[in-house]
Amino acid sequence: MSYTLTDLDAMSIEDANALPFDDRDHLLDLIIADGRHQSTDQHSYRVGLYSDYFEEDMVRMLKVRAVKVLPRGTTSSGFDGVKVGDTDEGQYRAAFRHIETSLTAAGTGFNRVVILMVFLTDMDNWPMFNEVYREFIADPPCRAVIGTTQLAQKTLAVEIVECVAYKVAP
């Protein structure tokens, strides 16, 4: 059966917790989609880049046994400390791939990211960064992109400082 949020809202926590994993997993996608909001109906240049706010419905999250996933800050540097990517665009992709690796290892993905904070060393690359971002992010989380003069390694162009996602506990 494919449950709806109305079905979930009518269930007790115990009944919802007893649902099979696949049903709870599907419901988590609905909860996250329902929690993403824009402040107004006005269209702007930011369409598809981020949500204005996310409402974390803890009752629904408890019902599906959602777990918050918080990957570490990630740059384009590999685990060996060597920069991945010869260009800023290449570094942006590498940083997103590194976060994707962490999300996958935790049992979730970009579709369940609700908060993302990024530091860029060159804000003139904003349009290029957004193009790479769209390759990885289909469901826009709340997002902040902040310009900085440099990161811990001077040759790095990007750091994904904060990423908050969810998954369903088995």
Q: Model confidence over 57-99: pLDDT tens digits?
A: 999 999 999 999 999 999 999 888 888 999 999 999 999 999 9
Q: Model confidence over 140-162: pLDDT tens digits?
A: 899 999 999 999 888 999 999 99
Q: Model confidence over 99-143: pLDDT tens digits?
A: 999 999 999 999 999 999 999 999 999 999 999 999 999 998 999
Which CATH number belongs to the domain containing residue 162 in this structure?
A: 3.30.1330.40
The residue range of the domain holding 152 is 5-168
Residue with tokens 């007893």: 18
Whole-number mean pLDDT of the chain?
A: 93
Split into its structural domains, the chain has a count of 1
Say which residue, 31 or 154, is predicted with more confidence. 31
